[in-house]
Each structure stands twice: as structure tokens, then as C-alpha cells.
Amino acid sequence: MSPMCMYSAGDDGKPNDWHFAHYAARAVGGVGLIMQEATAVERRGRISANDLGLWEDSQIEPLKKIVDFVHSMGCRMGVQLAHAGRKCGVKGERIVAPSSLHWSDEYPVPAELSKDEIKGIVKAFGYAAKRAVKVGYDTVEVHAAHGYLLHEFLSPLSNKRTDEYGGSRENRVRFLREVLMEVRSAIPDDMPLIVRLSATDFMEGGLDITETIEIVKLIKDKVDLVDTSAGGLLSPKLELYPGYQINYSEAVKRSTGLPTAAVGLITTPELAEEVIGNERADLVALGRVLLRQPYWPMYAAHVLKEDIPIPEQYLRGKYR
């Protein structure tokens, strides 16, 4: 399951009964790996005032309750560590970005981060990763997509810096590499580290799949899998269709040799099977279809004539 914000936490960033029910249902339904929604590494890194967080130790125990239950269902769980950057919509917070360019007219102009502040955010990702280990997650994903802070540094449309964090591709990737190094040092050697990237900005002068492949080559020694999404930096009009982002995952996989996850309106068992069967990606990550159908894996197994474990309590509902 792809990370999908629930916007249901309190201002303290802690989960509640809604989060438990939401994630537990997908684990019962047969999802193999649940990626927890964007979880802020700083208070000012929240997208909304109702985002989950891992910026302080008090958030560990309530998250652990969810992860422990998910594990009891034979499901794995990871967490997406994130910083909203200029897309922070929390009133009263100091909004920050690589450059003083706002996301839209509805958002304030952000403050340009100093180099010392950048180092502080790198540390914040590391501290959050250490807390993630204590929670018991099986993997950590660094969110560098969808127009949030790390993506803002990667794209020349939002990064106009003239220091070592802007300009050339190597400079624009520097912040992400430092975050990945910090997170890697904070988690066990055998814990997979995932990065989510937007393969294209869908706009002239922004990132495209060719540059994204080169970005991945600059970080491939630090990550185990690329969760390949697209867009989010600005708001171009797009024509969406089933599997519209699969080709990005396939291109990254073919060009870099790294495993990838495919996303993007994958809603049918047949399409998911095609992606894996033709080796276009190594994982299929479902989003909105799992909001509609928490037990989609049970249905997919029936369609594909496979047998998967079903909780004893639900055996009478098994597809036949």
C-alpha cells in the first residue's frame, strides 16, 4: 500500500483509533507491505496540522501499537519520512524551502534555508529514522517527491540557489544524498531504505525521466529501491489513465539496475500481474483502490487463481 495521508492526527502528531482501524484493515485484507503515510520529521515539516510525526520520542509508543498488530497479521510495515517544505499548510509555522518561491498564491512565500538549517533538517531525518527503528518498522522511505522539500531541492523550477545546494545536478542532489546517508547510518544494515521520487515535473525546465535516471545514479549506492511516482511540484493539467506512471518505474529499473516500485492508477489484478510478470517493476504499490477495497488482495488472489492466507474469522467470506 502506498503512503496516503489521512490528515487525522492531533496537533501532537500522534495516531489515534482511526489510524489503527485504517492500517489494521489493510493488514487483515492481505496487503504484503503497508507504507505509512507521510510522517513529518519536524513540526514545520507537516503538510497539515493533522499529519503524523516522528519528531519526538513521545510519538513512538502509539505508532508501535499499530505496527505490532500489522505484524501479527503477517504483514510488513514501513514509514515514509517527510518534510513538506514550502507546501506546509500549518498556520503559524515558519515555512522554508531551497529558495523564496511560493508553491501557489494560497501559500506564503517561504524563507530560504541557510546551510546551517539544511544541516539541522538532515539531522532531523536521522533522529526520526532512529525512532522508526524503535517503533519496529521493517523499512524506511525518504519522501523526495510530490513537490515537498527534498523534491524542491531536486527540481531547477524550485531551486534557484547559487551555493553548493543549487545549480548543477550534483549540487541539487546534495541535500538528498546527505539525508539518505544520515538515515542509512541510523537504521540497521539489513533494513531496506527506499526513496520516493517524482520522475517528471510535467513542465518544461523541470525534471524529466532522463534527469531522474541520472539523479538515481548519484544516490544508488545509498538506497535499495526507488518508489517511482511523478508530479506534485506545480499543478499542470494531466490526462490520467490506468498505469500512467509504470513506464517511469520501468525506465529507472532498466537504466540503473535498482529495484523499483510502480504506482499510478493500478486498480486491477491483471494490470498488477502484468507489471511484475514483465519485470517492469519489483513491487506494485496501490493507493486509492485500497481506500475503496481494503481486502483487494483477497479478490486479486481469486482472479489470478492463487491461494493466500486468509484470517480464520473471514474464511466463510473466501471467494470460491
Residue 1 lies in a domain: no
- Residue at 159 is within a domain: yes
Task: Give the model confidence (pLDDT) of 136-164 as tens digits.
Answer: 999 999 999 999 999 999 999 999 999 99
**What does the pLDDT average to over 94-102?**
97
In a domain, 78, yes or no: yes
Which pLDDT band holds residue 13 (cuts at 50, 70, 90)? very high
Average pLDDT over residues 46-65: 98
Per-residue pLDDT at 30:
96
Domain count, the chain: 1
The model's pLDDT over 28-43, given as tens digits with 9 standing for 90+, comes to 999 999 999 999 999 9
What percent of the chain is modeled with pLDDT above 70?
100
The DSSP-derived string for 267-311 is -SHHHHHHHHHTTS-SEE---HHHHH-TTHHHHHHHHTT------
What CATH code is carried by the domain that includes residue 133? 3.20.20.70
In a domain, 81, yes or no: yes
pLDDT of residue 320: 87
What is the residue range of 90's domain? Answer: 17-317
In a domain, 6, yes or no: no
How is 39-80 classified by DSSP, letter by letter? EESSGGG-SSTT-EE-SSGGGHHHHHHHHHHHHHTT-EEEEE
Instruction: Give the model's pLDDT for residue 78.
Output: 98
pLDDT of residue 129: 98
Is 225 contained in some domain? yes
Q: In the predicted model, what is the mean pLDDT of residues 183-207?
A: 97
Q: Is residue 3 part of a domain?
A: no
**CA neighbor of 139 nearest in space, from 264, 224, 54, 58:** 224
The pLDDT, as a whole number, for residue 235 is: 82
> What would the mean pLDDT of 62-91 be, rounded to a whole number?
97
Name the DSSP letter for residue 195: E
Structural domain contains residue 91: yes
